[in-house]
Amino acid sequence: MISVEDFSKKLCEAGFDQVIGVPDSTFKGLISYFSSQDMFRHTVAVNECEAVAIAAGYYLGQGKPAVVYMQNSGFCKTLNPYTSLLSADVYSLPALMLVGWRGEPGKKDEPQHKMMGRIMLDLMRVMEIDYAVLDEALWPEQVQQACAYVREKERPFIMVIKPEVFADFKISRKKHDYEMTREEVLRVIVENASDQAMFISTTGKTSRELFEIREQRQESHGKDFYTVGSMGCTSAIGFGLGLASSRRPIFILDGDGASLMQLGSLATIGHYTNRRIKHIIIDNGAHESTGNQPTVSDSVNFLEIGQACGYEWTACVETRQELNEAVFDLEKNNRLSLLVVKVKPGSRPDLGRPTTTPRENRDAFMAHFRQ
């Protein structure tokens, strides 16, 4: 394995001093190291387009390329800023991009990563971006060559990173003294919502926990749509569901990182004022599924954002009693609602994954919704 400290020192020696990105579990140890030292200025972006644009602005101001990291699923988002901003046909702006390879062909992975893992290298070639797959034995030479390329060509270069190439690195974070975990919050919501309620749960551990809660309660999964990929899109999926002819209340079970990734969805939801939508943001201040890296939610007031976007009912709760009361109010208030629940990070070590396929989930959800 590659030492995260050695790799970071190599980047520093090459003149990089700014790191920007969106966390990825493929090389979570390296990203955690970025977050815990002062070798670089480290900016956690809310989405990959923003990360690339920040790197562009930094180069314009400082004359130095930045390191930009992301998962390959998020790399797709950079298609527009690359072709219309970074490329040699436009401004020719350099960056060293670290892209995690989820869904590598022949390797076991979750279904949402299969297609991207299969087409990723072809996509990079079509986008005319030069790349190298990071090798544990050759990495010092690869980094040196990549850094020289970025500076001489004034174009981005991608280092593709497979899982378990980097050694792990744990970060210690200040623990919040909130009463509940995310799973406890989900359980309270499920217990207090009506039988008519439908749930759209965000990607990562939220959907995994909701699935297991249904299993433990021996209930059908037809009420729940488990968003296994497309981070940040859960609120838009819920809004789209609300366009269908139905009187069912729609619970959007969101996370702080996911909400920040597509914050503009709150403006769309607020503008059209579907009063059946109950948007719940479970805020643990972390990208927990990718290694517990911090989000920027500690400086964000979701309630004021929601109010400014047109949400008619907003509340923030921290205790089980407050949550019980809020969930009861959500379905009774006949208002477009936003509820923020502050929780402590963490999940069960034995947390499993949905045992049904995404298509089976789709079919069961559609059948239940139309009853």
What token pair was written down for 71? 């998962």
168 found inside a domain = no
Give the model confidence (pLDDT) of 3-13 as tens digits: 999 999 999 99
Of the candidates 70, 82, 65, the residue with the CA atom closest to the CA atom of residue 124:
82
The predicted model scores a pTM of 0.91
Of the candidates 320, 292, 315, the residue with the CA atom closest to the CA atom of residue 178:
320
> Position 66: which residue type?
A
77 found inside a domain = yes
73 found inside a domain = yes
Note whether 326 and 351 are within 8 A (CB).
Answer: no
Q: What is the CATH number of the domain that holds 125?
A: 3.40.50.970
- Same domain? 139 vs 233: no
How high is the pLDDT of residue 331?
Answer: 86
Cα→Cα distances 196→141, 193, 210, 331, 368, Å: 60, 8, 17, 10, 10
- Same domain? 228 vs 266: yes
Note whether 156 and 150 are within 8 A (CB).
Answer: yes
- Same domain? 59 vs 125: yes
Beta strands in 224-276 (DSSP E): 224-226, 250-255
- Same domain? 360 vs 264: yes
Beta strands in the chain (DSSP E): 18-21, 41-44, 67-71, 96-100, 131-133, 157-161, 198-201, 224-226, 250-255, 277-283, 286-287, 293-294, 313-317, 337-342
Give the model confidence (pLDDT) of 22-62 as tens digits: 989 899 999 989 988 888 999 999 999 999 999 999 999 99
How high is the pLDDT of residue 35?
Answer: 83
Size of the chain in residues: 371
- Same domain? 116 vs 244: no
How high is the pLDDT of residue 175?
Answer: 66
Q: How far apart are CA 185 and CA 175, in angstroms?
A: 18
CB proximity list for 316: less than 8 A, separation 6 or greater: 302, 303, 339, 340, 341, 342
How high is the pLDDT of residue 327?
Answer: 93
Pairing assessment for the beta strands 157-161 and 224-226 based on DSSP bridges: unpaired
Give the model confidence (pLDDT) of 245-296 as tens digits: 889 999 999 999 999 999 999 999 999 999 999 999 999 988 887 777 888 9
What token pair was written down for 33? 């190291």
- Same domain? 224 vs 332: yes
Q: Which residue has the tokens 């201040």?
A: 285
83 found inside a domain = yes
Please determine, for residue 173, whether its predicted confidence score (pLDDT) is greater than 70. no
- Same domain? 12 vs 107: yes
What token pair was written down for 15? 């003149």
Q: How far apart are CA 283 and CA 298, in angstroms?
A: 9
Query: Residue 21: which domain range?
Result: 4-161
Q: Which residue has the tokens 């911090």?
A: 294
Note whether 45 and 70 are within 8 A (CB).
Answer: no
Q: How far apart are CA 353 and CA 112, in angstroms?
A: 13
- Same domain? 86 vs 227: no
Band (pLDDT 50/70/90 cuts) for residue 230 is: confident
Domain count, the chain: 2
352 found inside a domain = yes
User: Per mean pLDDT, which range of 57-71, 124-138, 230-244, 280-294 is the poorest?
Assistant: 280-294
- Same domain? 44 vs 186: no
169 found inside a domain = no
200 found inside a domain = yes
What token pair was written down for 51? 């990360």
- Same domain? 131 vs 188: no
The percent of residues above 90 in pLDDT, for the chain, comes to 83
Gyration radius of the chain over CA positions: 21
Give the model confidence (pLDDT) of 332-360 as tens digits: 999 999 999 999 988 888 988 989 999 99
- Same domain? 148 vs 210: no
How high is the pLDDT of residue 138?
Answer: 96
- Same domain? 8 vs 151: yes
Cα→Cα distances 159→101, 109, 147, 149, 341, Å: 10, 21, 11, 12, 38
How high is the pLDDT of residue 294?
Answer: 84
Band (pLDDT 50/70/90 cuts) for residue 223 is: very high
Please determine, for residue 103, whether its predicted confidence score (pLDDT) is greater than 80. yes
Question: Residue 146: phi, psi to the nearest 5?
Answer: -65, -45
80 found inside a domain = yes
